[in-house]
Structure 1
Amino acid sequence: MYWRSLGELADTPEFRRYLHREFPEQASEWTDPKGRREFLKLMSASLALAGVGACTKQPPEDIVPYVRQPEDIVPGRPLFFASAIPFDGYAQAVLVESHMGRPTKIEGNPEHPASLGATDVFTQAAILGLYDPDRAQTITNRGEVRGWGNFLAALQSALSAQKGIQGAGIRFLTGTVTSPSMAELLATILRDYPQAKWHQYDSIGRDAARAAAQQPAGTASAPIYHFDKAEVVVSLDADFLSCGPASVRYQKDFARARRVTDERKEMNRLYAIESTPTLTGAKADHRLVLAAKEIEGFAGQLAAALSAGGAPSPQASPEWAKWASAIAKDLQAHRGRSAVVAGDFQTETVHALAHAMNQALGNIDATVTYGPALGAAVPDRSASLRDLVAAIDAGQVELLVVFDGNPAYTAPADLHFGERLMKIGLTVYHGLYVDETANLCHWNVAATHPLETWGDVRAFDGTVTLMQPIVAPLHEGRSADEVLGAFTVQPDRRNRDIVKDYWTRAFGGGGGWTIRDANGQPYKDAETFWRRSVHDGFIAGTAIADGGPATPFVPAPRPVTPPPAAAGAAAATPGNTLAQRNPPAPPPSATPASPAPRPAAPTAVPMQPSPDPSRASGSSQASSRDGSQGGLEIIFRPDPTVWDGRFANNGWLQELPKPLTKITWDTSAWIGPKLAEARGLQNGDVVVLKYRGNTARFPVFIVPGHPQQSVTVFFGYGRQKSGRVGTATKDAQQFNAFLLRTSDAPWFGDGLEISKTGDRYLLATTQEHHMMEGRAPVRVATLEEYAQEPSIIAEQGEKPPKTLTLYPEHVYDGYKWGMAIDLTSCTGCSACTIACVAENNIPVVGKEQVAIGREMHWIRVDHYFSGNNFDHAVEAYHQPVPCMQCENAPCELVCPVAATTHSSEGLNDMVYNRCVGTRYCSNNCPYKVRRFNFLLYQDWDTQSLYPMRNPDVSVRSRGVMEKCTYCVQRINQARIDAKGEDRSIRDGEIVTACQAACPSEAIVFGDLNDPNSQVSKIKKQERNYGILEDLNTRPRTTYLAALRNPNPELGE
């Protein structure tokens, strides 16, 4: 039995009423008081209605001809540019599609070694961030618009006062910095102002992971996992499939090791020991639910079973012992072919035990390798922020520059950073938005978007990735390099000059490291190297595994004659600065860094559970297992769609249903069913959370598989200043998890108190939308069952013979398009949904419209649960659902104006100009994949959004039905290219938007008439099936059934 919500499982009256409504709530009403029936009464005849509907006035559009045609631009043909989107300091390599100078779509860079073309939801949505009308647009001083020259003058005045004291009052606050050019600028500034200090703080930091990976010599290393080589994976509260700078590559590698074909009937096995349910846990073959504080105890139990240090926890239950014994046996049987992964949000002890277990299992240099930790100039970011706060309290900070962060909102509540910010004499904020921190700073310097600027940033594997401007800056913004350059003797340098000069010097810097091309050959000159690297989007050979530089490479500086005042400042005696204790890079006068030998695994030291409350292990001192009495555990996590709040003003991400709950536009406090029952709570009940003297309010949401004595809250909401989309409404301003977070317990802790207020809050969730009543769309089997009896998948459904139909048989002499989706590979990340939104001009409708079932996404990701043990045995499955493109399409027969038709290549086409909005097609679609424009959802008032729209896709107006088209515009472009070259379309030449974005390569598209095409071969597998096949719709979109690989010792 498979179910999508607890309401469906319990078959509540509310669920039945929603399910049996023919149309979504209020779907028959327009914006004015007159209903649709009244509207029809006012029309003279149905023919007149059809004529009026088909002649709906479209918004006006202006066209501007070229007087002189630019080189390389062909009207109607996009150009693609390689670049990068930084996220939490690390590069996400991209190819940006540009139409006539307008970036419209982001794809992954398939040549980049760190991602191999994969992207995530944040990267896909970055295109909307570029055109966001609420971006900071200029330089301001206390709210007054100023110019760059005014800012330089004010800054030079402040620096003059600092030169005599060697910059003792200067502080820089950044996030993780992996940019080599930015590291050089900071090193230069810290050399010129020896008493200045550089602080780093990441709201979603990985301090415990960094601390546990310290080498005996004090240098930091970082593990890189090779999931394509691991046959057994153990996750210790690690959401490696959807969280972290390497997640897209990890998804791809993990899916490849899990992919089953008729020739290869084997796959990896995943054990997830976790607290808050995650997408990684949903893919696990076995999932054990523990409180976050109990993970450390279980890790010790498992390490003891492997003789890798650690010790059995005194609070261990018989269930723990059973799981630890079974997992240990499996790991021992796969020595050198397994991996133990610790979660970024777990304790230092858990990470150290994971390192020790991998070492004991012989996994080092096989499935786990170690490289220098990138951006590790400040290993403990929380301590760095505390040091800054202490310096502010001591009156030592006179000038603070904050880069690309929002500490007034994201800093731990006990630091009261916003209040302290106002004590500083001069504050400068550099960011994309006028947010909470910008609102408290004296100077605001608008930041350029990554698609507007030059830059360099390293991917998780060390590969240096170059950013190039795809479009000229839309506003008066400056890059971080340019702002830092204002502190040097060349304050007016442009960011392109900074980056190119850095790498030109690196090319000729010597020092034992030679820059080579992708074939391993040296470049003939610096200009060839630069142009090739910009073209490719990355510098070949800079990954740590390829012998790239271990530290941010700083070449010898170009000789510059400083003015006398600056020369005097540079000669000052250096002091005990942060830069000397943890240098971000070698000093500029040093020779280039040589390739460093790859670090070994951190020294394995048997570790006992820490008595620190923020790292406590075992069961709660005061709570019962179901949380009905005493205090509870609170767990903090980044939000899967707005992260730490930085994407709160992105409407695409706000409207994206969150994995597992499908909540849109809001956050919630997750609780387990037993805790909900004990406290008398239902979805949407507002509760007050009290933790360590801090208070916040949240609506609750009941999540199967959540630890019963814990409450999980997510960062990113309750924003006070975040634009027209992200700023919280009055009743949601307390939905802020940062109000509860403290610096000594950043990820979990005991002592939470929860109390019901009696208030209710509407949560717009799509979990019960578009239900297929009484059907089982997901088919599942174990690997052993499938290997023994491949027909087990077909036996789970009924497929009528092709001859049993009243429809005329379609004949396809040319192409016959189809799609296959592998449910074993799909992780439910929803990158396909955002890619489809960006490609097909899909509008945002808002929370109220989503709540009544009017979301417009052409491809949704349904989430199904199986089982009734809510503690941990609830299995989860993801199923992307686009249009099925049925051969016997029910929608085509009922349209009175033939707006939906069957093409000669098998597509169910929509003719928008014919559609009169009867919605008969939607009512007759058993898959519920059609979307109707009840209102004019497209934003025609915000002119900055005009250039964002894809010119190859029609923009739909009110009263028009729409749906997935298999990216017909891409099909047509490939057809034009093939015709021009007098050939057929090659297999793999057409890549749909959802397929291109999918990190796990779960979606395959192609020509079914070609027996050698990949999609044809996939559809011949025994696992292939269609949803609702018993209806004889013969869908072109089919699925490969989900397979699991359970350990017989633990059962299914």
Structure 2
Amino acid sequence: MAMAGLAGCAAAPPEKIVPYVRAPEDLLPGKPMFFATSMPTSGYGMGLIVESHEGRPIKIEGNPDHPASLGSTDPFAQASLLGLYDPDRAQIVAQSGRISTWDAFITALEDSLSGFESNRGDGLRILTETVVSPTLGGMLQQFLAKYPAARWHQYEPVNHDNSRGGAQLAFGKYVDTQYRFEDADLILSLDSDFLSWQPGHLAYARKFARRRKIAPGEKTMNRLYVVESSFTITGAMADHRFPVRSSEIAGLAKALADQSLSGEPSWLGQVVQDLAEHRGRSIVIAGETQPPEVHALAHLINDRLGNLDKTVFYTDPIETNPVDQTRSLGELVQEMAAGRVDTLAILGGNPVYSAPADFEFGQNLSRVPLRIHQSLYFDETAEQCHWHIPETHYLESWGDVRAWDGTTSIIQPLIVPLYQTRTLYEVVSAMLGNPSQSNYEIVRTNWQKRHPGQDFESFWAEAVRRGTVPDSQEKPLSIKPRTQIPPLGETVQSGEGLEILFRPDPTIFDGRWANNAWLQELPKPITKLTWDSAALMSAATAERLGAHDSDVIEINSQNRSLKAAVFVVPGHADRSITLTLGYGRYRSGRVGDGHGYNAYTLRTSSAPWIAPNAEVRKTGERYELVTTQQHHELNQRHIVRHATEDEYARSPAFAQEEEREPKPEESLYPPHENIDYAWGMAIDLSACIGCNACVVACQAENNVPVVGKGQVANGREMHWLRIDTYFQQGPSSLDVYFEPMLCQHCENAPCELVCPVEATSHSAEGLNEMTYNRCVGTRYCSNNCPYKVRRFNFFPYTEWNVPQFKLLYNPNVTVRSRGVMEKCTYCVQRINRARIEAKKEDRKIRDGEIVTACQAACPAEAIVFGNLKDSASLVSKRKAEPRNYGVLAELNTRPRTTYLAKLTNPNPDLVEKK
């Protein structure tokens, strides 16, 4: 615990952070405190609630008062906690790779800036990621006012250039688009993964999923059409998914807008008819991977369908300075190549690694006389800069950020900075001549100017406490798109050769999460790959290349080449290969280096998402790819039960018709008596989107270790909760089913009877418990578990030799060691916490008072937990639904975790036509 006392040894901080809802009189050991904050991610803010124990943030939840999270999270927010304690983070100012100091940097900065006073900043450049912080944006504007000839550029590899360009084509200016999925009866996605990584995805997932849950006889389920090339979780939720080459989607969009269906696929006519029948109650949404013309066509189609101001709204951009980021970076590169940049400050990002390959950013960067870089890690860009400033983690800093709808949040720190880091605010303040100003003073002063008067203190306290600034969201605009359909440019055309698709990775995104072990080991939703990237393709494309899984191919595109291992994905469009971004790092840290390939080496500014006419050949080499699931077919088994909305209306109890559970009197097991509580869980498969937020949330809450690629290859992963993915050929398309699988807490648990030392036992409240000190590691329980949800510690996976990680662990959960079996506990520590509070108030535990980690993280509200002895509880109501069933219940396990069968809403005419 060498670093556990850091906060106590530091000088008392002058700032006051405000607990969410209420502040306890004293900090009580063992009693958590909760604080509202917000995480800046990919140009937007996500509202969070952070649980803190004795000054240590140990768990992240969504802020229910924040419109971007609505109380839920995604895997990145959950895993950002591990990033805080990452020992590989940059810890000290570096000059040319050598240890230096902040004061030395300030001296060098002042010397450099003094030379720009006479020429008004000519040759002075700043490169940032997307800026949606009102304070930081204002400071950068001040900087440009002080140095009028200086320039501010922005770039992120996964940006919104195409949607911005589409808005420019349709409206003549940049606007942001917002959707009301809760009011949409029909949704057409044109390569849009709106449930995963597009702006507002958590809120969209919540609102979309609520329209997937219906009672018998209801006809309120929405219908989702997805046209895409590479499988996404949005495509997996589709009622009809059409695998189409990405370059061909633009032609389909134009045919939709023109209603000229001659020569188009037969299903397109049915989609057009369905859209016409849902005027004013539909959404056509284009993905960021599609060119601007497709976005402009989507705006036009939504207008013609009468969706504007009903399900589709437009607002002013939330960025301080919205720009075409690829063009902005290109202008900077041209100036560097011409020798017109004397000082460049790169504040965030890693452009040497992630910039388009044709920009040759690293080579041109070397021509700049003074190069300054700030980031969380000493990465590929830091390696080529004269000065590197370690960036403060958002959980250590003050700040502000805007959400996708414009709602502003105040970022407050949960812990004193672990290292000698600085925030972006402090670096820009230093560039403005105020190097001693703290980020707390900077942010607070900015908001005091915005809200002058005697009520500022109450405004500030309330904004920090709730996590949102009242009435800060953008107001809808009253605008209509131009009536002329934009012509399709050459950039959206593709030949008959193979096309290469570039997509953000589901677990490490654009590479910024490469050194996060939780995310590296997290199975990707569709492929279940871990620790690697692969060249994803259809079986037909692989056959054409003569390749199989793990065969290495060489891809040549635009005079550049890359080697990658093949992985066949059902439902992938033919003649297309998907490469995910973010891998192939060499300066990310000890976790992220050396995994996968670097797709950025093929990605260019003219083809950031679709590279046409690639040449691919099999090399004869092999590369081991590791997955956590090898069998994806149902084969007429009833593990996942499903029906259409019409079938459900005709036979509400279809899920029970497949049940073969023995009657109670046939059991040889002694009955268990539950006095006050009988805990149970229900998971709605209609709502589950397979996003994996629950998996990482469980890992963070329960101190679940990481084992590494080699151990995963041996089948020794430690996740207590996994999401199984199944494929089945449906009547109109390939259907995908997600099924979260965790300990079922069986009433007749097969594991309990075979343990020779009673390390696994049954509690009076129905929990299947593990007593770690009794376990001798026979693994009989795991052999006898039909659900395969028990995990055994073959090695001491816990990193006890890393002091920072000792701050990470949840103090209410035992940290297991070698030779011990472990599994899901229904978050028994949360049950006990609620029990203590109820006992203090002399009452029973209320329904909804206990929220498991997986349940809290789920954006789709697919998981419900509670007391089965309370007939009025939500979990009892869910289990009373006719869709409720138990997996493998015919084995007489009587699982406490049950599932609600998945429902879909296919177009009957389209199914019949197929």
Instruction: Name the counterpart of 1:74.
Output: 28
2:633/2:728 contact within 8 Å kept: no
Q: Provide the secondary structure at the position in 2 that maps to 1:437.
A: helix
2:348/2:375 contact within 8 Å kept: yes
Q: Provide the secondary structure at the position in 1 that maps to 2:210.
A: helix
Instruction: Name the counterpart of 2:293.
Output: 349
How do residues 147-186 of structure 1 correspond to structure 2 at under 5 angstroms? Answer: 147-186=101-140
Q: Deviations over 1:482-511 (max 9, x none)?
A: 0000111323211001100001110129xx
Instruction: Name the counterpart of 1:849.
Output: 711
Shift in alpha-carbon separation, 1:113–1:67, aligned structure 2, 3 A: closer
Residues of 1 paired with 2:740 and 2:571: CA distance? 22
Runs of 4+ in 1 over 3 A off after TM superposition: 59-71, 215-219, 262-265, 769-775
Aligned residue identity for 2:561: T
Q: Deviations over 1:109-139 (max 9, x none)?
A: 0111232111100000000000000000011
Shift of 1:103: 0.6
Q: Deviations over 1:814-868 (max 9, x none)?
A: 1000000000000000000000000000000000000110000000000000018
The percentage of aligned residue pairs carrying the same residue is: 51
How do residues 787-798 of structure 1 correspond to structure 2 at under 5 angstroms? Answer: 787-798=649-660
Residues of 2 paired with 1:534 and 1:287: CA distance? 43
Instruction: Name the counterpart of 1:948.
Output: 808
Aligned residue identity for 2:147: Y
How do residues 559-638 of structure 1 correspond to structure 2 at under 5 angstroms? Answer: 598-610=477-489, 612=490, 614-616=491-493, 620-621=494-495, 623=496, 631-638=497-504
Q: Provide the secondary structure at the position in 2 that maps to 1:608.
A: coil
How do residues 128-527 of structure 1 correspond to structure 2 at under 5 angstroms? Answer: 128-214=82-168, 218-262=172-216, 264-305=218-259, 316-317=263-264, 320=265, 322-375=266-319, 377-508=321-452, 525-527=455-457
Determine whether 1:538 maps to 2:468: yes
Shift in alpha-carbon separation, 1:263–1:369, aligned structure 2, 3 A: same
Shift of 1:78: 0.6
Residues of 1 paired with 2:824 and 2:481: CA distance? 50
Q: Provide the secondary structure at the position in 2 that maps to 1:528.
A: helix
2:4/2:807 contact within 8 Å kept: no
Shift of 1:794: 1.4
2:586 to 703, 716, 720: 720
Residues of 1 paired with 2:171 and 2:766: CA distance? 64
Residues of 2 paired with 1:481 and 1:64: CA distance? 24
Residues of 1 paired with 2:9 and 2:46: CA distance? 37
Deviates more, 1:445-454 or 1:600-609: 600-609
Deviates more, 1:486-495 or 1:358-367: 486-495
Shift of 1:153: 0.8
Shift in alpha-carbon separation, 1:66–1:86, aligned structure 2, 3 A: closer
Instruction: Name the counterpart of 1:529.
Output: 459
Unaligned runs of 5+ in 2: 13-23
Instruction: Name the counterpart of 1:31.
Output: none
Instruction: Name the counterpart of 2:877.
Output: 1017
2:3/2:803 contact within 8 Å kept: no
Residues of 2 paired with 1:696 and 1:64: CA distance? 46
Determine whether 1:762 maps to 2:624: yes
2:169/2:296 contact within 8 Å kept: no
Q: Deviations over 1:302-344 (max 9, x none)?
A: 1122xxxxx558xx44xx2x22211121111111111000001
1:99 to 37, 43, 53: 53
2:171/2:481 contact within 8 Å kept: no
Instruction: Name the counterpart of 1:836.
Output: 698
Aligned residue identity for 1:542: S
Could you state the TM-score of these two structures normalised by the residue count of structure 1? 0.84
How do residues 672-683 of structure 1 correspond to structure 2 at under 5 angstroms? Answer: 672-683=538-549
Shift in alpha-carbon separation, 1:65–1:602, aligned structure 2, 3 A: closer
1:689/1:755 contact within 8 Å kept: yes
Instruction: Name the counterpart of 1:562.
Output: none
Could you state the TM-score of these two structures normalised by the residue count of structure 2? 0.96
Instruction: Name the counterpart of 1:1044.
Output: 904
2:186/2:223 contact within 8 Å kept: yes
Instruction: Name the counterpart of 1:554.
Output: none
Instruction: Name the counterpart of 2:567.
Output: 701
Shift in alpha-carbon separation, 1:803–1:973, aligned structure 2, 3 A: same
Residues of 2 paired with 1:209 and 1:65: CA distance? 44
- Count, aligned residues: 900
Q: Provide the secondary structure at the position in 1 that maps to 2:425.
A: helix
Q: Deviations over 1:500-525 (max 9, x none)?
A: 0001110129xxxxxxxxxxxxxx61
Q: Deviations over 1:621-679 (max 9, x none)?
A: 3x3xxxxxxx3111100000011111000000000000110000000000110111122
Residues of 1 paired with 2:91 and 2:601: CA distance? 29
Residues of 1 paired with 2:443 and 2:499: CA distance? 47
Residues of 2 paired with 1:1019 and 1:257: CA distance? 19
Residues of 2 paired with 1:720 and 1:60: CA distance? 30
2:632/2:725 contact within 8 Å kept: no
Residues of 1 paired with 2:336 and 2:815: CA distance? 53
Q: Provide the secondary structure at the position in 2 that maps to 1:803.
A: helix
Cα RMSD (Å) of the superposition? 2.1
Shift in alpha-carbon separation, 1:771–1:712, aligned structure 2, 3 A: closer
Instruction: Name the counterpart of 1:990.
Output: 850
Shift in alpha-carbon separation, 1:868–1:533, aligned structure 2, 3 A: closer
Determine whether 1:860 maps to 2:699: no
Instruction: Name the counterpart of 1:885.
Output: 745
Instruction: Name the counterpart of 2:760.
Output: 900
Residues of 2 paired with 1:190 and 1:260: CA distance? 55
Shift of 1:750: 1.1
1:212/1:602 contact within 8 Å kept: no
2:134/2:320 contact within 8 Å kept: no
Aligned residue identity for 1:72: D
Shift in alpha-carbon separation, 1:537–1:609, aligned structure 2, 3 A: same
Deviates more, 1:719-728 or 1:768-777: 768-777
Shift in alpha-carbon separation, 1:86–1:66, aligned structure 2, 3 A: closer
Aligned residue identity for 1:861: I
Shift in alpha-carbon separation, 1:678–1:102, aligned structure 2, 3 A: same
How do residues 1001-1012 of structure 1 correspond to structure 2 at under 5 angstroms? Answer: 1001-1012=861-872
Shift of 1:62: 9.5
1:668 to 524, 534, 539: 534
How do residues 11-50 of structure 1 correspond to structure 2 at under 5 angstroms? Answer: none
Unaligned runs of 5+ in 1: 1-58, 306-310, 510-523, 546-596, 624-630
Residues of 1 paired with 2:73 and 2:737: CA distance? 21
